[in-house]
Structure 1
């Protein structure tokens, strides 16, 4: 009998912190301005201008690729499936990390501060707990046989109901 990978619940989170967008927008605008002024208009940027090829590479990375990656690829995907909870933090995970019900000792809704883990993202705190968070302060703490995992959620009631309904079967 094959593995049951039916998705019962799915949540996709993207970065919403205004400072991230401001930082990315600042670099993107500066790279576009630099290339337009020096390469297309012909006015050198500063007293010791960088070569045009360097500006074009800078523009490609910070004006196009970096913003595109942030907009399209960075996301936290949480799935509750028939056999466990699956987490994928794109583009850092090539595959889902899975936490099977048979390995979950306990789980609970929690309210956390990003400072507990040193910020958002994939983090490990001083207690050895690993977190997968994008933003907010609501999460689920999974106490597993060998580790503790915290993941952020924006729909805590929906995900806990999905886990409850399936965990009762296991």
Structure 2
């Protein structure tokens, strides 16, 4: 980014819900139990046990990689610069997604239900040509473009709107 495009606002969100952590850790504990029983002790799990190769692959995916990614790496980064709003949903985006102010028709602070409107949290789409980036909560900023809308979930909706307002006044 060039020198004239300094950052005005930055928010980093990480999952904090206890049920989320509990679910991820429960899956990991189950995978570790399965791995230890079947691979270490040689005691197959269930009436029709999976082959050892499948057990090891699932253990690596859901006992190690999944918890590390979901609890250690997952975050939503929202930045406001002088030319637009930048969003990065780590680890799914390698680079920031830019939403330039010249393309934004309107924006507003809002309270919404991520479950009803988008079917949940994360990077979501619906049938009304709307996209959402939401990690926690139900507060956000809705950006309207000519043919679509983008909802950005935030824990600080007033601060994010003020940052956008201050930059838009300069344009």
Instruction: Settle same-fold status: TM greater than 0.5.
Output: yes
Tell me which moved more, 44-53 or 5-14: 44-53
1:104 shift after superposition: 1.8
SS in 1 for 2:94: coil
Matched with 1:99 is 99
Distance 1:162 1:80 in 2: 7
Q: Is the 8 A contact 1:4 1:83 kept in 2?
A: no
The count of aligned residue pairs is 169
2:128 alignment partner in structure 1: 127
Larger deviation, residues 53-62 vs 40-49: 40-49
- For residue 110 of structure 2, give the secondary structure of its aligned residue in structure 1: strand
Aligned-residue Cα RMSD (Å) equals: 1.8
Unaligned runs of 5+ in 2: none
1:20 counterpart = 2:20: yes
Unaligned runs of 5+ in 1: none
User: Contact between 2:86 and 2:98, CA under 8 Å: does it hold in 1?
Assistant: yes
1:49-60 map, 5 Å: 49-60=49-60
Alignment of 1:35-50 (within 5 A): 35-50=35-50
The answer to whether the Cα contact below 8 Å between 1:35 and 1:55 also exists between their aligned partners in 2 is yes
Q: Distance in 2 between matches of 1:5 and 1:92?
A: 24
State the partner residue of 2:142. Answer: 141
Please give the secondary structure, in 1, of the residue aligned with 2:48: coil
Q: Which residue of 1 aligns with 2:7?
A: 7
Taking the aligned partners of 2:154 and 2:68, their CA distance within structure 1 comes to 24
CA deviations 1:59-109 (Å, max 9, x no partner) are 111110010110222221100111111111222222211111222221111
CA distances 1:34-78 after superposition (whole Å, capped 9, x unpaired): 121222223332333333232222211111001011022222110
SS at match of 1:168: helix
Compared with structure 1, are the counterparts of its residues 40 and 12 closer, same or farther at alpha carbon in structure 2 (3 Å cutoff)?
A: same
Q: So what's the TM-score if we normalise by structure 2?
A: 0.88
